[in-house]
Structure 1
Amino acid sequence: MVSAAWKEIRKNPEQPIYLLTGTESYLLQETLAKIISESPGIEQHDVLNFDLEETSVDRVIEEADTLPFLQDRKVIVAKNASFLKAKERGKEKIEHPIDQLEAWLQDPSPTATVIFTAPYEKLDSRKKITKVMTSNAVVIEANKLTGSDLTVWVQQQGAAFGVTIDREIADYLVETTGENMMQLSSEIEKLAAFLEGAGTVTKEIIDRLVPRSPETEIFRLTDTYIAGNRAQTLAVYHDLLRSGEEPIAMTSLIAGQVRLMLHVGTLKKKGYHQQQIASTLNVHPYRVKLVMNNRNSPSEQRLLRVLNELASIDLKLKSTSGSRERVLELFFMEKL
């Protein structure tokens, strides 16, 4: 987990080069903030920022090699190092002097910490610049946490705010809020404020304070539809419409939930337990638990029939010029 990298930042605060990569924006921001806060004598307003989609990297090198004024060290953030990923035709705005950067990376300034950010899912490991960068920088991957890693992080965040979140409650909070770490952190802070920085978070407190994510409501919508409860299904559906959810997006999410039910059922028959299924499908264990514990779990044939009907609904929604809301509503009203 990235928490191990945070400990290293604290131990060695004067690293000359960092490379932050990955798509989890919350972890990228937190890691960036920790590097800055651990840099001796540096405040947030002292940090120099460059966007490499707008500015050539030689400006970063020039600034790094210039001695700091009235300070022992300077911190420079060079965002969007897109030259580290595969080139996209027509996307490059700036021609960077890559040879100059490669040479500098092997002999960086002793009085600057330069933080390159590459908020991309994958870097191009075939490029020489990527190899030189990863060889000479402290590389920290800010990838999305899933499964038990996310649960542990929720518990750690709770502890950081002074409250206790048991494992089962942490799972429930993830299921209620979704897996967006920025949103989760905000909700944990709110729960801690409610408890005045001490005590234990309960399911009742979460239900009282935390709004359900659209994904959670889609799970409930799918569950009530599969169970044949048309009145409740329509009630949840209209709530989602009022909150701004689009029928096409809802259809996709419902199909995803039905596919999850199918996959869980198949792996369960093969003898997989809950954690193995979650790991294999790359979903949070609590979602798998809810599917496995569903007493109204339908047959595989029934789920396949629903999936086939959803494919037809998706086509109708994308081709109709009429009311998309009505198309999906009629689907929910039909007998399964």
Structure 2
Amino acid sequence: MVNAIWKSIGEGNIGPVYLLMGVERHLIDTTIKRLIKAMPDIDESSVIRFDLEETPVEAVIEEADTLPFLEERKLIIANNASFLKASDKTKEKVVHNIALLEEWLGNPSPTATVVFLAPYEKLDGRKKISKLMQEKAIVVEAMPLAGKDLTTWIQNEASLKGVKISTETAQVLIDMTGDSLLTLSSEIAKIAMYMDGDGEVTSTIIENLVPRLPEVDVFRLTDAYMTGNVKQTIKIYHDLLRNGEEPIMLTSLIAGQIRLMIHVSSLVKKGYQQQQIAKTLNVHPYRVKLIMENRNIPKMERLLLILQKLAHIDHQLKSTSGKRERVLEIFFMEPLRV
């Protein structure tokens, strides 16, 4: 959906009102950049910005209805449209004239484009203004992408930079960096520059150019250990050591990963979804996604036993002056029985 809206903007079809809703900041920022690029009289310095947590919405409407001076059309960004979500009235700094906004949405200014930003996970669908805004505005849902949507976005982003990437190779990039669009966009730009903006991206190019997220390596290490793949576990462990990771730190990260598995498993049983779990545990959604999609997570008894063993390893590492690398390596080589 967002690609279709971007294409329409690129063709010069600029609407009077946009609603950018969701927590994926990169999609929001990219949409605004595309609007600026598509409006010939507008640059970054001429964009008019309001913070609706500090300014009433009437000021936005008044500015929109005032004829532009030098431009053919104004671009107005109204951030933090908190009146679209459930809110605590006692904490609101500004009182908005919502009735005026509802009336204005029925006949918006023909010489301004107003972009309302609602950087929240969800809006209050019970509110009349929320329903009306989604009905009258061009809506961009700026939510984290996953699965096919994410790989398609990567392919489109690569195409814009002049290179091609298959679905399988796009997944390799995701496995290396996570699902942050900002990070992915930066890495795709770097890869395209390396390839001189031509050709097809390969797994080898990605592995040579893209740094792997430490969380991803720790997840791979933990997963290999729990599935009993000693050879793979030792290989990943040695790779991490060569990259400068310390055994004490790795022990702590693995223990943290096990605890996260326990918490995620518990919340999944209670019916929580990925974004809810990430918010509750205050962790990146991609880490939750990896755990939820992993079919190799053992039962709770085994996870708790691993934690107990890691606590013993941590004590050993902090009390020994010998080769600490060997202590954790022996732990990985010992079969775990429950």
Normalising by structure 2, we get a TM-score of 0.75
Matched-pair contact (CA < 8 Å) for 1:217–1:236: no
Residues 124-203 of structure 1 mapped to structure 2, 5 A cutoff: 124-203=124-203
Q: Distance in 1 between matches of 2:230 and 2:26?
A: 39
Q: Distance in 2 between matches of 1:6 and 1:212?
A: 30
Residues 290-305 of structure 1 mapped to structure 2, 5 A cutoff: 303-305=299-301
Query: Compared with structure 1, are the counterparts of its residues 243 and 76 closer, same or farther at alpha carbon in structure 2 (3 Å cutoff)?
Result: farther
In the other structure, the counterpart of 1:6 is: 6
Q: Does 2:238 match 1:253?
A: no
Q: Distance in 2 between matches of 1:199 and 1:231?
A: 35
Query: Compared with structure 1, are the counterparts of its residues 116 and 219 closer, same or farther at alpha carbon in structure 2 (3 Å cutoff)?
Result: same
Q: Does 2:228 match 1:211?
A: no
Residues 264-303 of structure 1 mapped to structure 2, 5 A cutoff: 283=289, 303=299
Structure 1: gaps of 5 or more residues: 262-281, 317-321
Q: Distance in 2 between matches of 1:22 and 1:198?
A: 33
Matched-pair contact (CA < 8 Å) for 1:22–1:119: yes
Shift of 1:143: 1.5
Q: Distance in 2 between matches of 1:95 and 1:159?
A: 45
Question: What letter is aligned with 1:53?
Answer: E
Percent identity, aligned pairs only? 42
Question: What letter is aligned with 1:169?
Answer: T
Shift of 1:11: 4.7
Structure 2: gaps of 5 or more residues: 266-287, 320-324
Matched-pair contact (CA < 8 Å) for 1:23–1:121: yes
Shift of 1:33: 1.4
Shift of 1:7: 2.3
SS at match of 1:93: coil
SS at match of 1:206: helix
Matched-pair contact (CA < 8 Å) for 1:221–1:233: yes
Query: Compared with structure 1, are the counterparts of its residues 90 and 312 closer, same or farther at alpha carbon in structure 2 (3 Å cutoff)?
Result: farther
Question: What letter is aligned with 2:257?
Answer: L
Q: Does 2:48 match 1:48?
A: yes
Greater shift, 154-163 or 99-108, is seen at: 99-108
Normalising by structure 1, we get a TM-score of 0.75
Post-superposition Cα deviations, 1:65-86, rounded to whole Å, max 9, x if no partner, equal: 1110022211100011111111
In the other structure, the counterpart of 1:59 is: 59
In the other structure, the counterpart of 1:72 is: 72
Q: Does 2:31 match 1:31?
A: yes
Q: Distance in 1 between matches of 2:307 and 2:89?
A: 34
Shift of 1:107: 2.3
Shift of 1:174: 0.8
Q: Distance in 1 between matches of 2:14 and 2:118?
A: 21
Query: Compared with structure 1, are the counterparts of its residues 38 and 243 closer, same or farther at alpha carbon in structure 2 (3 Å cutoff)?
Result: farther
Shift of 1:89: 6.2
Alignment length, in residue pairs?
Answer: 299
Residues 77-116 of structure 1 mapped to structure 2, 5 A cutoff: 77-88=77-88, 91-116=91-116
Shift of 1:169: 1.1
Query: Compared with structure 1, are the counterparts of its residues 225 and 243 closer, same or farther at alpha carbon in structure 2 (3 Å cutoff)?
Result: closer
Post-superposition Cα deviations, 1:71-109, rounded to whole Å, max 9, x if no partner, equal: 221110001111111104654232222222222222221
Q: Distance in 1 between matches of 2:58 and 2:89?
A: 23
Query: Compared with structure 1, are the counterparts of its residues 130 and 257 closer, same or farther at alpha carbon in structure 2 (3 Å cutoff)?
Result: same
Shift of 1:240: 8.4
Q: Distance in 2 between matches of 1:107 and 1:244?
A: 63
Q: Distance in 1 between matches of 2:299 and 2:238?
A: 22
Shift of 1:326: 5.7
Query: Compared with structure 1, are the counterparts of its residues 48 and 194 closer, same or farther at alpha carbon in structure 2 (3 Å cutoff)?
Result: same
Matched-pair contact (CA < 8 Å) for 1:221–1:236: no
Q: Distance in 1 between matches of 2:309 and 2:20?
A: 42
Matched-pair contact (CA < 8 Å) for 1:233–1:332: no
